[in-house]
Structure 1
Amino acid sequence: MTIAPGLLPEGLRDRLPPQAEAGSRLLHRVIVAIGRHGYMRVTPPLAEFEEELVGRLKSARAQDLLRFVDPVSQRTLALRPDITAQVGRIAATRMGHRARPLRLAYGGPVIKLRATQLRPERELTQAGAELIGTDSLAAVIEILNVAVEALEVAGVTGITVDLTLPDLVETLAAGAMPLPADRIDAVRDLLDAKDAGGLARLGADAYLPFIEAAGPVGPALAKLRSIAGAQALDKRLSAIDAIVAALGDRVTLTLDPTERHGFEYQSWIGFSLFGQGLSGEIGRGGGYTIMHADGHEEKAIGFSLYIDPLVDVGLGVVEHRRVFLPLGTAADVGARLRAEDWTTVAALSAEDDARALGCTYIFDGDGPRPL
């Protein structure tokens, strides 16, 4: 079968001007904003040995990865669908001797085997930060502040942070709301799906009120505190109170305590990030653990942001002052103009047209003149 010229695989695309430049600019802004909080940048490879990457991803399965056989090692490699796991590997191995808490930042492309209806792209630009060695309340507040600042620097407004409690069922099932071990996963999935009928059929009626305890953070917390047997969550709810106090009016805070999809490997807290005018979530994060070679697990917390949705709504686009340099213009003229923050387009022939080449100014011998 002949492939049409210029056709790309499903879910992959070219970025053209000015969006390609906007994407690079936004990634740089985000990484710089993160770095100013003491996060050091690391750059993992695009592909790793499949078994190593799957083991670090935890929630991912081998069939969820885009794989190929390395002609050098003759072993199966996988393209990364997420950079967080790779940062965890670096923290546990090559930087395992560094003092904790260890602050690391990253940015680069990821590729997924399949797209989703909400996000049809398979190749995305991901950026983020990981705080290795703790998942304390102070660490959560720092990570959230860094994420919000990075989005603000990128031009996102109307930011909403949706908090969740990924281990809610496990915490309650171990004490105040006991469940047989073989029902915990089912109850967790039914809560995630907001399936009240399924919970009733399973005999988990005590968990039904949690479905309604979602929405703006204030009323949601009040509903959670009113649920009989939810006292085991008091420490977590007090932590959310502290998060609300720390973020203040900077963002809109919501709470969905039973949200689980995409938070399968998170520990006591998770969060999704949204922005005004942007469809779907533009980032997520939370607490998790990193596995070391000796078998011990290390606490961590972090977030990932996706640059592509920001580019798609026009963020990061900068109008350059493009000046056309007619044929014969001295080289030092162009150098001087570029030093003054002009973008110069030099004529290569007498037929070159300034307007057709996207210029809004022309150098007339004395200086740039509007066209």
Structure 2
Amino acid sequence: MLPPGLLPEGLRDLLPPAAEAEAKLAAALMAVFSAHGHARVSPPLVEYEATLGSRLASPARRELLRFTDPVSQHTLALRSDITGQVGRIACTRMAASPRPLRLSYCGPVLRVRGDQLSPERQSLQTGVEIIGADHEAAALAVLRLAVEALATAGIEALSLDLTLPDLVAHLHAAGLSAGEASLATLQALLDGKDIASLRAAGAAAYEPLIAAAGPAATALPRLHAFAATLPEAAAAVLAARLAPLSALVAALDGTPGLSLSLDPTERHGFEYQSWLGFSLFGAGLPSEIGRGGSYSLVHPDGRTEPAIGFSLYLDSLVDAGFGSVAEKRLFCPPDTAPEAAARLRAQGWTTVTALAPDEDPAAQRCTHVLVGGTPQPLTVTAE
């Protein structure tokens, strides 16, 4: 028999005031997105497994919690990400809407397993997508929006880590020698920054990509120097990535509280992103608080469409104290007139009207008590 109140591993109850902080934080972020013209959509928590994320051109094979629908007898799955659902909406119900299509969302997601840095399996995900564009201007718009939203949430020091998820695949397709290594092996060696194995496999031509990881101010010149050494086809591939990337770094450089870094071969978590990917980290927070990039959507008729966006995960922010607002909680005696309490609420108070004369205001997290019709600090006791 399970102990009372026991929850599955990686799941938790959010109690006061954390649940309130999460709601306020989500509302603040969504207000920023709305102010930038992103209309909210709200896809369901559960979909048919076969269609969940199917609109992404390179869908990640995510671990999903599955079960059989007793009505249709089809396999259903709980979403682990909302981006694919927004893509489905854009390609079906909003296929005729003018582009670029600016959408936002907020809702819970569930993954089968957590990890050491993020053991939680359920989280609240919010974000935006621009459907119909993934060029430099669209990328700059979503990056600036992500930075602004997190600044609104109270994060003063933010790290933006940029990557080029499909660069290695395109260099390989352009004929840059990888020796005996397959593309999958090459990507794995670059993921592990395994220079010795790269050389042993005859793929030393990709080694400069490892050296080009670090602060953007030093990484970009190294990438430009690398491009100058490449054969014509491979050089054209890298140049096509470097031009918009350099422009983005130049546009964001000097943003207060923002540091920029680059790892051109980072692919972990960027399974369906194309020319650009990025992660967001807050100072003092143990794991990433956001991720995004460019990708392609596939319409039912096979047509592809560019898109770009980002997702933010609120759990670590709430755990770190973001979203908490000092409330003015006013404890009112049981005989307080409803009209008087309403006037106090209009003045910004949160009112807690006692249900019995012996109710403890401190137990209700009240900061003030209503004494003779006037709010007094809790330390002041009525006669």
Distance between the aligned counterparts of 1:234 and 1:61, measured in 2? 31
Distance between the aligned counterparts of 2:354 and 2:324, measured in 1? 25
The residue that corresponds to 2:274 in the other structure is 267
8 Å contact from structure 1 (residues 189, 260) kept in 2: no
CA positional deviation for 1:176: 5.7
Query: What's the CA shift string for 1:48-72, capped at 9, x where partnerless?
Result: 001111534644336x100111111
Q: Cα gap change, 1:181/1:36 in structure 2, threshold over 3 Å: closer, same or farther?
A: farther
CA positional deviation for 1:313: 0.4
Question: For 1:324, which of 331, 343, 351 is the aligned residue?
Answer: 331
**AA in 2 matched with 1:235:** A
Q: Cα gap change, 1:192/1:17 in structure 2, threshold over 3 Å: closer, same or farther?
A: same
The residue that corresponds to 2:14 in the other structure is 15
Q: How does 1:1-371 map to 2 (within 5 A)?
A: 2-53=1-52, 55-56=54-55, 58-61=58-61, 64-175=63-174, 177-179=176-178, 183-227=182-226, 228-229=229-230, 231-232=235-236, 233-250=238-255, 251-371=258-378
Which consecutive residues of structure 1, in runs of 5 or more, have no partner in the other structure?
A: none
8 Å contact from structure 1 (residues 225, 231) kept in 2: no
8 Å contact from structure 1 (residues 66, 112) kept in 2: yes
Bigger CA drift: 107-116 or 321-330? 321-330
Q: Cα gap change, 1:181/1:43 in structure 2, threshold over 3 Å: closer, same or farther?
A: farther
Distance between the aligned counterparts of 2:295 and 2:104, measured in 1? 16
Bigger CA drift: 197-206 or 342-351? 197-206
**AA in 1 matched with 2:30:** I
Q: Cα gap change, 1:340/1:125 in structure 2, threshold over 3 Å: closer, same or farther?
A: same
CA positional deviation for 1:342: 0.4
CA positional deviation for 1:196: 1.4
**AA in 1 matched with 2:2:** I
Q: Cα gap change, 1:180/1:42 in structure 2, threshold over 3 Å: closer, same or farther?
A: farther
Structure 2 counterpart SS, 1:253 = strand
Q: Cα gap change, 1:60/1:235 in structure 2, threshold over 3 Å: closer, same or farther?
A: closer
Query: What's the CA shift string for 1:337-360, capped at 9, x where partnerless?
Result: 011110111111121122232222
Distance between the aligned counterparts of 2:179 and 2:310, measured in 1? 33
RMSD: 1.6
Bigger CA drift: 52-61 or 23-32? 52-61
8 Å contact from structure 1 (residues 54, 61) kept in 2: no
Structure 1 counterpart SS, 2:264 = coil
8 Å contact from structure 2 (residues 276, 293) kept in 1: yes
Distance between the aligned counterparts of 1:337 and 1:128, measured in 2? 35
8 Å contact from structure 1 (residues 40, 104) kept in 2: yes
Q: Cα gap change, 1:205/1:93 in structure 2, threshold over 3 Å: closer, same or farther?
A: same
CA positional deviation for 1:181: 10
Distance between the aligned counterparts of 2:6 and 2:76, measured in 1? 25
**AA in 2 matched with 1:240:** L
Q: Cα gap change, 1:146/1:181 in structure 2, threshold over 3 Å: closer, same or farther?
A: farther
Number of equivalenced pairs: 369
Query: What's the CA shift string for 1:208-259, capped at 9, x where partnerless?
Result: 1211111000110111122221633123212122112221311211000010
Q: Cα gap change, 1:200/1:104 in structure 2, threshold over 3 Å: closer, same or farther?
A: same
Query: What's the CA shift string for 1:138-176, capped at 9, x where partnerless?
Result: 110001011111111111121111110111112212336
Distance between the aligned counterparts of 1:317 and 1:168, measured in 2? 41
The residue that corresponds to 2:381 in the other structure is none
**AA in 2 matched with 1:288:** Y
Bigger CA drift: 26-35 or 165-174? 165-174
Structure 1 counterpart SS, 2:103 = strand
Distance between the aligned counterparts of 1:258 and 1:61, measured in 2? 20
Distance between the aligned counterparts of 1:189 and 1:92, measured in 2? 33
Which consecutive residues of structure 2, in runs of 5 or more, have no partner in the other structure?
A: 379-383
**AA in 2 matched with 1:77:** L
CA positional deviation for 1:324: 1.1
Q: Cα gap change, 1:174/1:60 in structure 2, threshold over 3 Å: closer, same or farther?
A: closer
**AA in 1 matched with 2:66:** R
**AA in 2 matched with 1:303:** F
Structure 2 counterpart SS, 1:99 = coil
